[in-house]
């Protein structure tokens, strides 16, 4: 999959919701982000986004799939398939996971 295919969703998003990216970029602080994201997404969506980031961080730190599943203790969202998808995007995606993980490390 080339970079165009990986980022192809953005053409559709920009056509259907041209202000979405600008809306994200307009958020000024954590409280604004929490308010907007809570209205925009379901509780399940928020939990899943959080889980995906945590799994990506664990994979980046070298944890095995088994260790990750044990840490999440049977959470239905953390299936081997989900971990595999996150691992694939971490290694072969557009670099978004890695960029955020590196920034989070810098901020510690």
Same domain, 104 and 60: yes
Hunting for tokens 């960029």 — which residue is that?
99
Same domain, 29 and 53: no
Q: What is the pLDDT along the chain (108 residues), one digit of tens a residue?
A: 566 567 788 899 999 999 999 999 999 999 999 999 999 999 999 999 999 999 999 999 999 999 999 898 877 778 899 999 999 999 999 999 999 999 999 987
pLDDT for res 73: 82
Same domain, 49 and 35: no
Q: What is the dihedral of CA 97, 100, 105, 107, to 10 degrees?
A: -170
* Domains held by the chain: number: 2
What's the CA gap between 91 and 51, in Å, rounded? 17
């Amino acid at each position: 999959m080339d970079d165009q295919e990986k980022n192809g969703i953005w053409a559709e998003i920009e056509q259907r919701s041209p202000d979405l990216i600008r809306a994200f970029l307009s958020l000024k602080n954590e409280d604004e982000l929490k308010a907007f994201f809570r209205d925009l997404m379901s509780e399940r969506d928020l939990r899943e986004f959080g889980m995906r980031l945590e799994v990506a961080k664990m994979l980046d730190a070298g944890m095995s799939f088994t260790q990750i599943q044990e840490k999440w203790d049977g959470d239905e969202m953390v299936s081997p398939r989900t971990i595999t998808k996150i691992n694939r995007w971490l290694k072969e995606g557009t670099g978004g996971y890695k960029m955020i993980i590196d920034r989070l490390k810098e901020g510690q």
